[in-house]
Copies of this chain bind each other. A is one copy, B any other.
Amino acid sequence: MQSLDYSHIKNLDDWKNKIFCGDCLEVLQNFPDASVNLIVTSPPYADSRRSTYGGIHPDNYVEWFLPIAKELQRVLRDDGTFILNIKEKAVNCERHTYVIELILALKKQGWLWTEEYIWHKKNCTPGKWSNRFRDAWERCLQFNKQKKFKMNQDAVMVPTGDWAKTRLNKLSDNDKIRFNSQVGSGFGKNIANWVGREMAYPTNVLHLPTECSNKSHSAAFPKSLPTWFIKLFSDEEDIILDPFLGSGTTCVAAYELNRNYIGIEIKEEYYKIALANLDAVKVPFVQNSLF
């Protein structure tokens, strides 16, 4: 991995819209205070196997995560939000408790545990075992620094009624995202202007498919997940941070929504994939500007 020294970087413009390859704990220490509007991330899951990504043992998960959370707290703006996508493993026929212990520890650290959104994975990994069914949901824990935080509820409204069932269901998710990225400021909102039918506020249950692409890297979460939270908890031109970037999904979503992004990824292999994925979404816009 490349050696990193960010001490020469003075202001935030030098950080915006870049992704970094390095340990997020080290990289974050060079960030200015209260500079980020929204953190959306899916950290490496606890796993006893060494060979896999990260490889943090469940029993050590909280102590590993807390110093990072402290830095996240420092760099987050006071009205900012921290979204943590996580789910505990089943270990020895039991759900491990490291996630709920982490919630308690983060509260001790000063975070407010504002809400727990549920990501219902519509097409989750199949499997059948003697004592449990497929795990079809993950937690999206919302933490804040203070009770008042930025929240654009209208940006994630969803169409209701017959029109939604007859027309919208025929659009694939790719179509929705493609359309959304073209107009830039939220699918639901534009549909509302478009047709003028009823819109409703969503609940704290998100029905999203797991990304089923044929890419080499396994996508941690579908792009629609960070997209939803970015629309909800940030404005355009805000700064979105993902300290465990993986293949770059959060930054791609932020870019397509006209937000500034900062990504950190420790594994050079995934860092390169993230770079490539970001390049891929930027290309069409460059081509358009040449016309």
Contact = CB atoms under 8 A, between A and B. Distances in A.
Interface of A: 90, 92-95, 97, 100-101, 103-104, 107, 112-116, 118, 120, 124, 128, 130-137, 147-149, 151, 153, 201-205
Contact of A204 (B97, B114, B116, B132): B132
A116 B131 CA distance: 12
User: How many chain copies does the complex carry?
Assistant: 2
Nearest to A100: B100
Given A94-B112, A118-B120, 13 more contacts: A94-B113, A94-B114, A94-B147, A97-B104, A101-B104, A120-B205, A130-B151, A131-B149, A131-B151, A133-B153, A133-B202, A133-B203, A137-B204
Contacts of A97: 103-104, 107, 113
A130 B149 CA distance: 9
Contacts of A130: 151
Nearest to A102: B100
A113 to B, nearest CB: 5
Contact of A201 (B94, B115, B128, B135): B128
